[in-house]
Amino acid sequence: MHKRRASEPPEQPTASCANCALPELCLRAGLSPEDVKHLDKLVYARRSVSRGKDLYRSGDPFVAIYAIRSGFFKTDLVLKDGRSQIMGFHMPGEVMGLDGIGAGAYTCNTVAIDDAEVCSIPLSRVEEFAHDAKDLAHRLHRLMSAEIVRDQRVMVLLGGKVAEARLAAFLADLSRRFAARGRVASDFDLPMTREEIGSFLGLTLETVSRMFSKLHAEKLIEVHQRHIRILDTAALERLVDQAL
Amino acid sequence: MHKRRASEPPEQPTASCANCALPELCLRAGLSPEDVKHLDKLVYARRSVSRGKDLYRSGDPFVAIYAIRSGFFKTDLVLKDGRSQIMGFHMPGEVMGLDGIGAGAYTCNTVAIDDAEVCSIPLSRVEEFAHDAKDLAHRLHRLMSAEIVRDQRVMVLLGGKVAEARLAAFLADLSRRFAARGRVASDFDLPMTREEIGSFLGLTLETVSRMFSKLHAEKLIEVHQRHIRILDTAALERLVDQAL
DNA sequence: CGAACACTTGATGGTCCTCAAGTCGAGTGG
DNA sequence: CCACTCGACTTGAGGACCATCAAGTGTTCG
C-alpha cells in the first residue's frame, strides 16, 4: 500500500466551530457569531478515521451528518456482482451523509482514503435548533441543494463521450475544489488510485493511465505518479467543454 | 410531432392538498391532516404547462419548488457546444426545483414532454411554516435527501458498462416509479423519444433502438414504438445487476 | 396524399476494454 | 545498504462494442 506522506501532525483540534479552519464551508457558512455558538453545541464528537477504515457503511442506521476536517473520503456502492462503483470523492469542508436522511439509513459506504478527521453532527439536534436559528435551517437547505447540484455535475461528467474529456473534467473539478479551500489549484497530489478514478469515471484503470499520458504528451499537465501539475488550465477547460 | 393520446380531460383540480390524488408522494406524505391544511395555504398556484413548454430555465431566479400533478417533464442542461444533456425524467408526484435553493437560481431547464400540471410551492413560505409544523420541515429534508439518492442511482446507471444493461436499468427504474404511483408496472407508454433516452443514458438514439430490439429478441420485453410491455421482470433485473 | 418526424436496420470504423508484460517506488528483512 | 516484495502504475496488441453515416419503414397531421 502506498503510504502517503503523513499530513502535518494532527493539530489539536480547536473543538469549536467558532475557530474552525474551514470558515466558509460546512454548516457554519453565513451564520451569525451567535448562531455559530449554537452550532458548537450540536457538534457532538470529532472522530478520527484512519486510511482504509470506513466512517459508515451502506445500510447503517442514519445517526448524523459528517463534516470533513481533514483527509479525503470516497463513497462507494457494492454492486451485486461484487464490484464496487465509486460515487464520489470528498475533501475537507464537505459534508457527507445527507443521503441517509430520506430512508433513515445510509445508502453508500464511506471510506477514508487518507487519514482523516470528521465532525459528527446529529441531524435531529440540527432540526431542533433550526427552530430557533432560522439561518441554520436555511443553510442546511442550501447544503442539501448544493449536494444535488454536485451530483448533477457528476452525471454530466459521466455522460461525457470520450475518456480524455472525462479525465480532464475530473481534474478540473478537483482543481476547483482545492482552490475553493485555499489550496493551490494547479499542483497537488491525488489522494486516490487510478483504479478508483476509473471506477468513478466509468473507465478502466488502464484507460485512465493512458489518458494521463495523453494529457501529458499534449503538455496540458505534468504527471509523476500521483503528483499532478496543471500546465494549461485554459486548454483543459476547453477540452472539458468541447468533448463533454 | 407525436401527439400522445390526450390524457383524460384535465379533471377539475381539487385545488387542495387534502384531497390530492397523489397522497403518499409530494410534500404531503406523512403529515397530519392538521398540517396538510397548513400545506394548502402554501400552494400558491397550480400551473398548466403544455407539451414542449418549459416550466423554468437554467439561470432563472429560484422562486419555488414544483410538485407534478400530471404529465411528464425532462430536465436538461445545454452544453457549451449546443448539445443538450438530459439529467432526468420526472413524473406525477415528484418534486422538481430543489437544485435551485443553493445558488438561488435553477440549474437545469425543465420542459414538459407531455401536457402537464404542477403545484407551485414557494420555498420561503415552506420554511416559514416549517417553523410551526415540525413534520413539514422533516418531510422537506427527506424529500431533498431522496433526490440525492435518486441522483446517485442515476450515476450508477450511467457508470454501467454495456448499453443493454443501461437500457434495462432505465426500464426497470421507470417501471418501479410507475408502480409506486399505482399504475401498472409492466405495460406503459414511454413519454420520451429514443433520442431523449439516449441523451440521458449517454448513448445514441440508434443504439437505444437496437437495444430495444435486442431486449425484444430475447423476449424480455415487447416494443411497439413507444408502447412497452415487460415480459420477464426477473430477467430484466438480472441483466441490470449483472452487467451494471 | 405528402411532409415531417420518430423509429429501425445495416455497414464501417474508432474508442475503449481485455489480456499481458513490463517499470517504478516504498517498505521490509537480511 | 541492498535485494526483495508488493502494490501502483505504464505500455502494448487484439478485439468487442458502440458511434457514425446512410437508407428505409411507420405514423401522424396538415
User: Which pLDDT value is given to residue B24?
Assistant: 63
Least confident window among A67-81, A82-96, B22-36, B37-51: B22-36
The neighbouring-strand residues paired with A189 are A227
Mapped onto helix, strand or coil, the DSSP state of residue B63 is coil
Q: What distance separates the 2 farthest-apart alpha carbons in chain A? A: 57
Cα distances (Å, whole numbers) of residue A14 to A42, A46, A67, A94, B3: 15, 10, 15, 18, 63
Closest residue (Cα, C1') to D17: B162
Record: contact A145-B101, CB cut-off 8 A: yes
Task: Give me the residues of B, 16-55, that contact A with CB < 8 A.
Answer: none
What does the pLDDT read at residue B181?
87
Mark yes or no for CB contact B151/A151 under 8 Å. yes
Is residue B211 classed as helix, strand or coil in its secondary structure? helix
Tell me what pLDDT residue B16 has. 74
Pick out residues whose CB falls under 7 Å from strand C.
Answer: A 2-3, 161-164, 202-204, 206-207, 224-225; B 1-2, 161, 190, 193-195, 205-206, 208-210, 212-213, 223, 225-226
Report the alpha-carbon distance of residue A227 to residue A216 in Å, rounded: 12
Predicted pLDDT at B83: 80
Asked if B127 is an interface residue toward chain A (Cβ–Cβ < 8 A), one would say yes
Residue B220 CA, nucleotide D29 C1', distance (Å): 33
Q: What is the pLDDT of residue A13?
A: 47
The answer to whether A99 contacts B145, with C-beta atoms less than 8 Å apart, is yes
pLDDT, residue A20, reads: 75
pLDDT at A7: 40
Per-residue confidence at A19, pLDDT binned at 50, 70, 90?
A: low
The pLDDT, as a whole number, for residue B12 is 43
CA distance from start to end of chain B: 34
**pLDDT tens-digit profile, chain B (244 residues):** 454 443 333 444 456 777 676 766 677 777 788 877 777 777 768 899 999 999 999 999 999 999 999 999 999 998 877 788 999 999 999 999 999 998 999 999 999 999 999 999 888 888 887 777 778 888 889 999 999 999 998 888 887 789 999 999 999 999 999 998 888 999 999 999 999 999 999 999 999 999 999 999 999 999 999 999 999 999 999 888 766 5
For residue A144, say whether its CB is under 7 Å from any atom of strand D: no
Q: Do A149 and B99 lie within an 8 Å CB cutoff?
A: yes
* B243 vs B165: CA distance, rounded Å: 6
* Chain D, protein-covered positions (CB within 7 A): 7-13, 17-22, 27-29
CA dihedral B179, B23, B96, B223 (to 10 degrees): 20
pLDDT of A66 higher than 90: yes
Question: Which of B218 and A138 is assigned the larger pLDDT?
Answer: B218
Output the pLDDT for position B195: 96
Q: Is the pLDDT of residue A14 over 60?
A: no
Residue B33's Cβ-count burial label (10 Å; 0-12, 13-18, 19+) is: exposed
Q: Which of residues 185-214 of B touch A (CB under 8 A)?
A: 199, 202
> For residue A125, is pLDDT > 70?
yes
Supply the pLDDT for residue B50: 92
Question: How many angstroms separate the CA of residue A156 from the nearest CA in chain B?
Answer: 7
Q: Which residue of B has its CA nearest to A106?
A: B149
Mean pLDDT of A73-95: 90
Pick among B144, B157, B161, B240 to test the A interface (most A CBs inside 10 A): B144
In angstroms, the CA of A147 and the C1' of D6 are apart by 38
Q: CA-CA distance, B222 to B228, in Å (whole number)?
A: 6
**Residue B93 grid cell:** 408526484
Cross-chain residue pair B81–A241, CB shorter than 8 Å: yes
* Residue contact A148–B149, C-beta within 8 A: no
- 8 A C-beta contact, residue B158 and residue B173: no
Q: Which position has the higher pLDDT, B43 or A120?
A: A120
pLDDT given for residue B4 in this prediction: 46
Please list every residue in chain A whose beta carbon sits closer than 8 Å to the beta carbon of residue B77. Answer: 152, 156
Q: Rounded mean pLDDT of A53-81?
A: 92
CA of B53 to C1' of D30 (A): 22
Cβ A159–B202 below 8 Å, yes or no? Answer: yes
Type of residue found at A46: R
For B89, the 3-state DSSP assignment is strand
- Of residues A228 and B40, more confidence is placed in A228
Q: Average pLDDT in the A78-82 region?
A: 80
Contact B123 A141 (CB under 8 A): yes
Q: How many CB pairs under 8 A join A and B?
A: 135
Predicted confidence (pLDDT) per residue in A153-175, tens digit: 888 888 778 999 999 999 999 99
Q: CB of A205 under 7 A from strand D?
A: yes
